[in-house]
Amino acid sequence: MDHPSSTPARPAAVPVTLANCADEAIHLPGQIQPHGALLVFDLDGLLTGWSGNAASLLQLCVPPSPGLPHAALGLPAEAATLVQACLQEISEGEAAPMMAATHVDGLRVDCIVHAHLGRVLLEFERCVQPPPEVTRQVLMAQQMYDRLKRQKDITALLQFAVEQVRAMTGFDRVMAYRFRPDDSGEVVAEARLDSWPPYLGQRYPASDIPAQARRLYIINTVRLIPDVNYAAVPMFGSAAGAALDMSHGVLRSVSPVHVEYLQNMGVAASMSISILINDRLWGMLACHHGNARHVPYAVRMACDVLAQVLASTAQVLDSRAQSAHLATTAAVCEQITAALLVEEDLASVLPRHATALADTFGAQALVLAQHGKLQCHGDISPELAAAMVATLPQHSDKIVQRCAREDWPPAIHAALGKWVGLLALSFNPAGNGWLLLLRTEQIENVRWGGKPEKILKVGPLGARLTPRGSFSLWSETVHGRCEPWESWRLDAAIGLLAELHRVSLFAQVEADRVRALLLAMLGHDLRDPLHAIQMAATILQLDERQQTLARRIQSSSARMQRLISQVTDLSQLRSSNAMPTQLRSVDLAALLADLVDESRTAHPGVEHLLELPARCMAMVDADRIAQVISNLLGNALHHGACLRPLQVALVRQQDNLVISVRNEGPPISMLAAGTLFDPFKAAGLHNVRNPGGMGLGLYIVQEIVKAHRGTITYHYEAPHVVFSVVLPVAAQDAPARLPAG
């Protein structure tokens, strides 16, 4: 700052141009509004700066000059005490505002002092209202705090607030803005004189409040301009040091662009009250008047407290609404997670929960992509879904969100149609598994308060940027965008993704475990064929029936090779949840006869009883069915009563073929029966008569039977343990050759 004999530090004639508008240092104006005066002291209480009207307005006993102690200026006692208190409160160059009332030349003056960046700013503001009126307004504010907290929703809360602030301050119009995610503001509540134009529902662009102005609204929450047509008062003082930062001041002169903005609206006086939630500008109460209007500091502070109560209440109401939404979302996610713990495959679980999941995330369609396969739920084609998945990163574990057409790669824009919103969860990075939540375009008719752009004008000071001159309603139809994904829904998506990752990881661990035990299972299932080969080779050395036994060896060896390839399908079964089959017309009677003959050869001491028709043609996978029967025969031999007969039967029951394998033995316990068809069950791992068994056989058998659209069950018919395989019969199968069951 400069001495009075020099020019002011920042002349008012400096233009705000297109080049510097966004960088305008509005917190360093070098001048103040004329309804008060400003003195600036250093941390020793020595004068370093003053406004040009300070000497006359404050009736100072000596002319201000750099280095004067504050006690030498002849300040009112209340002001001097305030400065001293502020100096004692300073910590790291900062002190919160303090206020006291005094009188200068018989007029009431409010003194406000604060410290910022190592400087003490003492502001004097003339109070034009009598003390009783100020007291009434402050009491009115205190009485409305409790009523404010009792509002039931945010719309009612803001409407109540604007009505009360208008009653308390006397402004012609009070509006409540609520800021959107893109920082544009919308008027959501309004109280006004009937003669003032309505702005309710109108939108104002984010550029109306540049970043540096938004910062000031956050750190200095109440801003008063008693008369927009004021002539600014320059600051003077020592030229040493940085420019005076008036961010926290009440008298700071405002940007000429903002003054012109208000003038274009027909506003003569203005006051703004910031609504902050989590240190972010959530909303604002904007007060306008048709004539100059001054609101005392005490009333402004009461309005500031009201805004804090309003912010707290809005946060509570918003949190309640979000909690209700989150509870619904959590319930749906818990149902999906619970189902996945049983079925382990999202592709089979999702169809039952697709509608609820879409509703809770505010989506109009879902797409599940995994292992190159797609499931679509909603009005979206598989071709478009595949194209969308192709735009996502490979092997990602992130959430991808898009809210507009331009967020997608240009190559897919033409194909998107109405689908522009995306929330994609990568639940299985290894398998490129994605869950896509999709939103349609929301065509929106935006009612702007004037055309949302500034205008370049050329005047005496050259080209400069001016705010729009008309605030008449201007409508714009917005295409290609959807409602942004709400923060609470993003939080819910993160929670759901964590659960999907956990289930996917569990499934992967199980698949790895299966692969690690394949060799052990091969040894278990190949024991009987290899035993037959060994027995046949021994007999060949002693017996002349070489041709028959050679066929047995060839059959058993071929069967061993088939089993090796079949059991490796277990890994595919665990990853794709389906057992591959190749159906063809097969004589089941002949197949069962061969399998029983193999078993007789391998176990000559056990009687095998066979009940078969002469011929039974069926569409089955012969190798898979052979694996089923071999496993059941092996279980009967290992777990049945020693050297007691086995019974194998093939009968028709209505439209089904029933294959039963019986052995004598005690019933399977209820606990063991409940896990018979589970993989890696303890009964298989610890059976003393079957030490090599890993508990996988019946699990594979069940999956093979399911792949044939059949069922396998266990029951006990004393003294027999009975396993029954039921397979559906096609209409063309001839039942006459089958004995009645």
pLDDT tens, residue by residue, 100-142: 988 888 888 999 999 999 999 999 998 876 665 666 666 666 6
C-alpha torsion 326→330→331→334, nearest 10: 180
Q: Does 526 reside within a domain?
A: no
Neighbours of 682 (CB within 10 A): 12
Q: Are residues 699 and 638 in the same domain?
A: yes
The structural domain count of the chain equals 3
Q: Are residues 278 and 369 in the same domain?
A: no
CATH of the domain at 280: 3.30.450.40
pLDDT above 70 coverage of the chain, percent? 74
State yes or no: pLDDT of 179 exceeds 70. yes
Q: Is 236 exposed, middle or buried (0-12, 13-18, 19+ CB in 10 A)?
A: buried
Q: pLDDT band for 581, please (50, 70, 90 cuts).
A: confident
> Nearest to residue 514, comparing CAs of 694, 355, 654?
694
Q: Does 241 reside within a domain?
A: no
Who has greater pLDDT, 4 or 504?
Answer: 504
Neighbours of 624 (CB within 10 A): 23
Q: Does 21 reside within a domain?
A: no
CATH of the domain at 708: 3.30.565.10
Q: CB of 248 within 8 A of CB of 114?
A: yes
Q: Does 38 reside within a domain?
A: no
State yes or no: pLDDT of 661 exceeds 90. yes
Neighbours of 99 (CB within 10 A): 17
> pTM for this structure?
0.59
DSSP label of 69 = B
Who has greater pLDDT, 119 or 26?
Answer: 119
- Give the Cα separation of 270 and 139 in Å (integer): 22
Residue 412 has φ and ψ, to the nearest 5°, of: -105, -5
Predicted local confidence at residue 311, as pLDDT:
92
Who has greater pLDDT, 395 or 225?
Answer: 225
- For residue 395, what are the CA distances in angstroms to 201, 400, 493? 45, 13, 18
- Give the Cα separation of 368 and 347 in Å (integer): 7
Predicted local confidence at residue 46, as pLDDT:
94
Which residue is it, tokens 């208190």? 85
pLDDT tens-digit map of 203-224 = 777 777 778 888 889 999 999 9
- Give the Cα separation of 149 and 312 in Å (integer): 8
CATH of the domain at 414: 3.30.450.270
pLDDT above 90 coverage of the chain, percent? 30
Q: Does 431 reside within a domain?
A: yes
In sign, the C-alpha dihedral spanning 409, 410, 415, 416 is: positive
Q: Are residues 152 and 283 in the same domain?
A: yes
Q: Are residues 608 and 683 in the same domain?
A: yes
Predicted local confidence at residue 575, as pLDDT:
52
Q: Are residues 312 and 165 in the same domain?
A: yes
Q: pLDDT band for 19, please (50, 70, 90 cuts).
A: very low
Residue 649 has φ and ψ, to the nearest 5°, of: -135, 150
Beta-bridge partners for 660:
649, 724
Predicted local confidence at residue 140, as pLDDT:
67
Q: Does 563 reside within a domain?
A: no
Q: Which of 80-84, 127-131, 515-519 has the lowest mean pLDDT?
A: 515-519
pLDDT tens-digit map of 377-397 = 988 999 999 999 889 887 666
- Give the Cα separation of 270 and 250 in Å (integer): 13
State yes or no: pLDDT of 2 exceeds 60. no
Who has greater pLDDT, 514 or 476?
Answer: 514
Q: Which of 60-69, 75-84, 515-524, 638-647 has the lowest mean pLDDT?
A: 515-524
Who has greater pLDDT, 546 or 403?
Answer: 403
Q: Are residues 593 and 730 in the same domain?
A: yes
Predicted local confidence at residue 605, as pLDDT:
86
Q: Are residues 377 and 439 in the same domain?
A: yes
Predicted local confidence at residue 556, as pLDDT:
63
Q: CB of 32 within 8 A of CB of 38?
A: yes
Predicted local confidence at residue 735, as pLDDT:
39
Token pair of 136, please? Answer: 């009434």
Q: pLDDT band for 479, please (50, 70, 90 cuts).
A: low
Q: Are residues 190 and 133 in the same domain?
A: yes
State yes or no: pLDDT of 551 exceeds 90. no
State yes or no: pLDDT of 43 exceeds 60. yes
Question: Torsion-angle region of residue 364: left (phi > 0), alpha (psi -120 to 50) or beta?
Answer: alpha
Q: Are residues 718 and 644 in the same domain?
A: yes
> What is the extent of the structural domain holding 174?
129-228+267-321
Indicate the residue type of 249: G
Q: Does 504 reside within a domain?
A: no
Q: CB of 49 within 8 A of CB of 237?
A: yes
Predicted local confidence at residue 690, as pLDDT:
46
Q: CB of 707 within 8 A of CB of 581?
A: yes
Q: CB of 618 within 8 A of CB of 738?
A: no
Neighbours of 164 (CB within 10 A): 22
Q: Are residues 144 and 292 in the same domain?
A: yes
Q: pLDDT band for 534, please (50, 70, 90 cuts).
A: low
Q: Are residues 291 and 203 in the same domain?
A: yes
Q: Are residues 173 and 274 in the same domain?
A: yes
Q: Does 696 reside within a domain?
A: yes
pLDDT tens-digit map of 619-636 = 999 988 998 998 899 888
- On average, the pLDDT of the chain sits at 79
